[in-house]
Amino acid sequence: MEQKHKPSDKQEHEAVAVHDETKPKDAETTKGKLGRRQYDKELERLHVELVKLQEWVVHKGLRVCIVFEGRDGAGKGGTIKAITERVSPRVFRVVALSAPTEREKSQMYVQRYLPHLPAAGEVVIFDRSWYNRAGVERVMGFCSEEAVKGFLAAIPRVERVMVDSGIILVKYWLEVSPEEQTRRLEERIDDGRKIWKLSPMDLKSYSRWYDYSRARDDMFAASDTEFAPWNVARSDDKRRARLNIISHLLSQVPYRAVHREKIKLPKRQKADGYRESNHPMRFIEERY
């Protein structure tokens, strides 16, 4: 399901298509998991393209909104980290909202998401989004079926307004198999670095695989539109999924490298009588 944005004639004239540039030049032909060496090589190349995209977004004042959805353990967080680790957090802004407050619960449902939409020169990434209502809230019984149906009926119109206003909206669903989800969640139990990712809510939702499947199917049926389609990425192989998503993302925003003057470091000023301070600096203990 390819996103189809129609840039203006001026954009088409100025922008350079990146489909061919961002395809792996020497991808493995086997179906095995992608090795670390090739993953790092491809990721480095794609990071360079993301920096070019970042500079183009700022230069042209574009507004880009990226939505990531998927089951627990599908790889959303790792993919977002792969996208953002070499770009500016002032341009690529990640939004991961906590549970709504009592005040927010009384608002129009999408209201708390609207202030986080991108302004000119920004890329906003939603780590879970307004689609919580179609997913976790529905499956876990946090809202009524009537509220879900109302949301599914209304959200295409909301996204239509977003797109018509000039926002480039890209939606990703990470599709993980039940076996791989189980492996990843079990891994979190014994890994002190990942245990925070395994909340009581995750444990409850894990047992409701097919409830989530039904909720996903309803969500797709209602909101997989021509102007804001769902782009599905198989994520059992995390490395391949990250590379595929970044490559696809680069193809969704026409861009080209912004001209930069050649950079040369200036000469440092002379000491001009400066002497190092005698103040006893409190250096941290060097344990390594």
pLDDT of amino acid 83:
98
Residue 55 lies in a domain: yes
Residue 152 lies in a domain: yes
Residue 143 lies in a domain: yes
pLDDT of amino acid 24:
52
* Residue pLDDT tens, the chain, 288 long: 444 454 444 444 444 444 444 455 444 434 678 999 999 999 999 999 999 999 999 999 999 999 999 999 999 999 999 999 999 999 999 999 999 999 999 999 999 999 999 999 999 999 999 999 999 999 999 999 999 999 999 999 999 999 999 999 999 999 999 999 999 999 998 889 988 888 888 888 899 999 999 999 999 999 999 999 999 999 999 999 999 999 999 999 999 999 988 999 999 999 999 999 999 999 999 999
Residue 38 lies in a domain: yes
Residue 192 lies in a domain: no
Residue 272 lies in a domain: no
Residue 275 lies in a domain: no
CATH number for the domain spanning 122: value is: 3.40.50.300
- HEC string for the chain: CCCCCCCCHHHHHHCECCCCCCCCCCCCCCCCCCCHHHHHHHHHHHHHHHHHHHHHHHHHCCEEEEEEEECCCCCHHHHHHHHHCCCCCCCEEEECCCCCCHHHHCCCHHHHCHHHCCCCCEEEEEECCHHHCCCHHHHCCCCCHHHHHHHHHHHHHHHHHHHHCCCEEEEEEEECCHHHHHHHHHHHHCCCCCHHHCCHHHHHHHCCHHHHHHHHHHHHHHHCCCCCCEEEEECCCHHHHHHHHHHHHHHHCCECCCCCCCCCCCCCCCCCCCCCCCCCCCCCCCCC
Domain range spanning residue 220? Answer: 9-178+210-252
pTM given for the model: 0.85
Work out how many domains the chain is built from and give that number.
Answer: 1
Residue 257 lies in a domain: no
